[in-house]
Amino acid sequence: MSRALPLEEIPVFDQQHRLPEELTPQEPAVILFDKPAGWSSFKAVKAIRKRLNIKKVGHAGTLDPLATGLLVICVNKATKSISQVQELHKTYRALIRFGASTSSYDAATEIDMEAPFNHIDRNLIEAELAQSFNEEFEQIPPMFSAIKKNGQRLYKLARKGETVERKARKVTIFKTVIHSYDPPDLDLDIECSKGTYIRSIAHDLGINLGSRAYLAGLHRTKIGTFDVRNALQADDLQVAKSS
């Protein structure tokens, strides 16, 4: 059984180091991809598989279809190193909208509750982020998630209107930076550990501030030192081999 390769030993393909026409099954690779809205993470993997005509492809951290940004895709023997990528810090640009909530905690479902938000200002937000979302804390995953309960994905139960008890998980917020607060919209960066649900942060932040909130937009900008600014675009995966 072959060992997992250290990340620093795996070739990285991005805007500077473009994808070759093809890769052999013996060539490991990490591909940085800027996932567009509407694409599932599986669709990105499928596009890479078709583009390079290879079978062994996997991604290191799902992005919801509505989310955009950096997806790290591992190819061939690099798939054994996926866990190394998953352990890296993630950075997101998040748009949190106060005054309403949804059952999925994001814009994928309809608004189910509205609440006042005029009392919320930037100072109040900064104080709550520092108090409740600073360093390590316990987070309850949303029902609309891929976590399994008794063999079933939670999001499948949620779509049936079912709610089950979820065990809190320890996650870490390393840094938050507010770009702007233009009520009801909060635009900020969040650097966090693996397994952190930004949707849950939006939902809980709204409740903690005496209102409601949901995640109106999400863009993953970094995974460790990998940066979305260097990532390949969808058009780069659709180039014909004959071009």
Q: Which residues are designated catalytic? A: 64
Q: How far is CA 38 from CA 12, 67, 181, in A?
A: 25, 8, 26
Joined tokens for residue 133: 């979302």
| Residue 150, number of CB atoms within 10 A of its CB | 6
Tell which residue, 38, 68, 97, 67, has the closest CA to residue 228: 68
Which amino acid is present at 60?
A
Which amino acid is present at 147?
I
Tell which residue, 46, 77, 92, has the closest CA to residue 216: 92
